[in-house]
Structure 1
């Protein structure tokens, strides 16, 4: 029986780096693609290291050969110019999906973001949390690109029958501390992120799904129902870090009520705070 081959774009980025050790499995080969340098394989680690851009059709065509599933983390992870965002995030995702289609990759997981709905309010979902399929209200060019990524995933499912799951990630870091109090709501722990990705890979015929990627945080304002329907069982809660946070400043107007937080007022086209 052949090993499962899992292609991960953006493998040298923050989330990709956190996922590399957590997605190792017997019988699985990780094919890791990034423009940035990547650490060499450790003894016994089944990895294939590729260097290239998600915007390069030939690179993606080669990377998608003999792949069983694709996790697309590649692209700009923060606000940037419209031109760069259009080229890398939107154009790059189109290139990735088209290469996957040509190579008949049956399953794709796309990294979307809370910033696709950044101008929604944190109380819109009531006690159940903001539904994962809430229509886009992006807060930045970056948020627009994530909404476009979701739409591309839907298109490639409907047109070509690919199973596509788009995950609106809250914030995935080792701890929620870099994000301050907001992180106590949006945090997706690295371990829970791996659990969520495994659920996306294992579920039978998901079709097209849009889900939230967050841990089971006590202050969570996002719905977990859609992810749990795929078999996701989160185990972590950002609240354990609350005592380590300094007293937060007074909320700045309505920013505390908006999903996107400070992204909603930061200048468009420039690198924004977390």
Structure 2
């Protein structure tokens, strides 16, 4: 059966990584961004829409004949309140409202671990920190992601959409430094996670960690497994090199390693982070 998935932020790094991994016979990726995406080797049937996530009318038109939306667009780093509210909170409202108007029932929202950044490692959870921890944002960016999640809940309860929020860890080709040994989401597992979110039947509202099957992981995989996400990659293959460079990590006591938000918890609010 033919399927059309729309990806907002279609020119971004995560979408660029996903495009060849989501390519499949009978599937079309409709890429929405404010700039046209560059060609990617191995990508499949693609369409491009130039629009911003805060343009409700443009999104409603772009969502026609779409089966599911993967919402990656918005402000991706710490910024001032106006930026994160307009692009993340209001932008996500536009995505969800446009989905409702266009009759799209499935929306995958890119939330962030920074929505719960001040939570710390807690070994009283045998499977790791649960994905549905209550919000404890570490920045204005993280605060905007709590708004994203609550908007998703509203559109499930009020309008019957299926919405899955991904509290994404470190989605990079390789783990960034020591904390990546616990929080890494590999590109292949990122694609597996998106595939699971699109395929699961009638999920309602879910929050899932975006994390790989890392040996040093302290986040739960149970919520992901409940929707069919079974990650395969493990950051431990990088451990010998990282420990030699940075020393043995202390995920129990080091605040840069045992807080979900790491150094973001100490960053001045509203200042852009590189």
TM range (shorter): over 0.9
- SS of the residue aligned with 2:269? coil
Verify: 1:68 aligned to 2:36, yes or no.
no
- Please name the residue that 2:256 is paired with: 255
Aligned length: 270
After superposition, the C-alpha distances for 1:54-96 in whole angstroms (9 at most, x for unaligned) are 0011220111111100000001111011111110000000001
- SS of the residue aligned with 1:128? coil
Point out where structure 1 has 5 or more consecutive residues left out of the alignment: none
Is the contact made by 2:132 and 2:207 (CA closer than 8 Å) also made in structure 1? yes
Verify: 1:217 aligned to 2:217, yes or no.
no
Distance 1:101 1:223, change over 3 A: same
Verify: 1:265 aligned to 2:262, yes or no.
no
Once residues 44 and 114 of structure 1 are traced to their aligned partners in structure 2, the CA distance between those partners, rounded to angstroms, is 29
TM-score, scaled to structure 1: 0.94
| CA deviation after TM superposition for structure 1 residue 124, in Å | 5.7
Higher mean Cα deviation, 117-126 or 87-96?
117-126
Distance 1:153 1:217, change over 3 A: same
For residues 195-206 of structure 1, the aligned pairs below 5 Å read 195-206=192-203
TM-score, scaled to structure 2: 0.94
Is the contact made by 1:112 and 1:167 (CA closer than 8 Å) also made in structure 2? yes
Distance 1:49 1:151, change over 3 A: same
- SS of the residue aligned with 2:246? coil
Is the contact made by 1:203 and 1:230 (CA closer than 8 Å) also made in structure 2? yes
| CA deviation after TM superposition for structure 1 residue 12, in Å | 1.2
| CA deviation after TM superposition for structure 1 residue 41, in Å | 7.4
- SS of the residue aligned with 2:197? helix
Point out where structure 2 has 5 or more consecutive residues left out of the alignment: none
| CA deviation after TM superposition for structure 1 residue 255, in Å | 3.2
Verify: 1:98 aligned to 2:97, yes or no.
yes
Higher mean Cα deviation, 43-52 or 8-17?
43-52
Once residues 68 and 110 of structure 1 are traced to their aligned partners in structure 2, the CA distance between those partners, rounded to angstroms, is 15
Distance 1:70 1:125, change over 3 A: farther
- Please name the residue that 2:164 is paired with: 165
Verify: 1:34 aligned to 2:33, yes or no.
yes
| CA deviation after TM superposition for structure 1 residue 228, in Å | 0.2
- SS of the residue aligned with 1:127? coil
| CA deviation after TM superposition for structure 1 residue 253, in Å | 6.2
Verify: 1:186 aligned to 2:200, yes or no.
no
| CA deviation after TM superposition for structure 1 residue 43, in Å | 8.9
Once residues 192 and 234 of structure 1 are traced to their aligned partners in structure 2, the CA distance between those partners, rounded to angstroms, is 5
Is the contact made by 1:164 and 1:208 (CA closer than 8 Å) also made in structure 2? yes
Is the contact made by 2:20 and 2:41 (CA closer than 8 Å) also made in structure 1? no
Is the contact made by 1:132 and 1:210 (CA closer than 8 Å) also made in structure 2? yes
| CA deviation after TM superposition for structure 1 residue 155, in Å | 0.5
- SS of the residue aligned with 2:57? helix
Is the contact made by 2:111 and 2:165 (CA closer than 8 Å) also made in structure 1? yes
Once residues 63 and 15 of structure 1 are traced to their aligned partners in structure 2, the CA distance between those partners, rounded to angstroms, is 20
Once residues 45 and 212 of structure 2 are traced to their aligned partners in structure 1, the CA distance between those partners, rounded to angstroms, is 28
RMSD: 1.9
Once residues 36 and 247 of structure 2 are traced to their aligned partners in structure 1, the CA distance between those partners, rounded to angstroms, is 37
- Please name the residue that 1:141 is paired with: 140
